[in-house]
Amino acid sequence: MTEALVASLRSALQRILTTPTPEDVWQIQKDLLAIGGETALQAREVAGEFYSCLRNMQSKRASRSASRQGAALGTAAVASVGLQETFASQEDPLKSLLASSVTAMLEVGSALKGAQAWEVEASLIYHDLAWYLYGELWEISLVARPELSLEQRRVCTDLLLKPVLDPDMADATKSALLIRLFQVVLTARLWPLLNGGAADPPV
């Protein structure tokens, strides 16, 4: 793996942690294909799901106010400032990323409490994304929090995704939370590649 590929991957990730766009996630896919290997394959799977998530949100712009979508994406970006700082300063950010996620969920939810719900038929999409993220968060926590019991791990993972599955939660809030969780999972999957080009997956 060349230094140029690592630099490109790091640059795209930093942009995604600040203002996530489908275009930057697409760039990460190209870098991961060039890198190859099992670790890159797992990261590319996460990137693909994140790309679809962002594209689905973009496709709804015609049917809802841009300011509502901006509220969700903007709030996710604000909440991601701490995530980016964690990524930049920690030797191994996995534990910090997971530990900060619950607090971030509350911050995003509070900021969007008064946001008007988006009028979309998105329930199935949210549940599909939650299903996928549940498995990823579980596997990452096996490395980041090995001391947790089975029940503790289940409770923590349930807590992270509970707002997304809550039928009474505003769609804008759910979207912001999904973005935040994808940022966490993508960072965790990319970290071995950015930290010496590890060949083994982080699970």
Cα–Cα distance, 56 to 141 (Å, whole number): 28
CB 11 within 8 A of CB 30: no
Low-confidence ranges of the chain (pLDDT < 50): 62, 66-69, 75, 77-83, 86-87, 91-93, 102, 106, 108-120, 198-203
pLDDT at 79: 46
pLDDT at position 125, please? 83
Output the pTM of the full model.
0.75
CA distance 115 to 184: 24
Tell me the per-residue pLDDT of 76-112, one tens digit each, with 9 for 90 and over. 544 444 445 544 555 444 555 555 554 555 454 444 4
In three-state secondary structure terms, 197 is coil
C-alpha distances out from residue 89 to 34, 86, 108, Å? 27, 5, 23
Spatial separation of the C-alpha atoms in residues 71 and 108, rounded to whole Å: 10
The per-residue pLDDT for 199 is 41
Select from 86, 92, 91, 97 the least CA-distant residue to 156: 97
**The pLDDT of residue 78:** 43
Query: Contact 176/112 with Cβ under 8 angstroms?
Result: yes
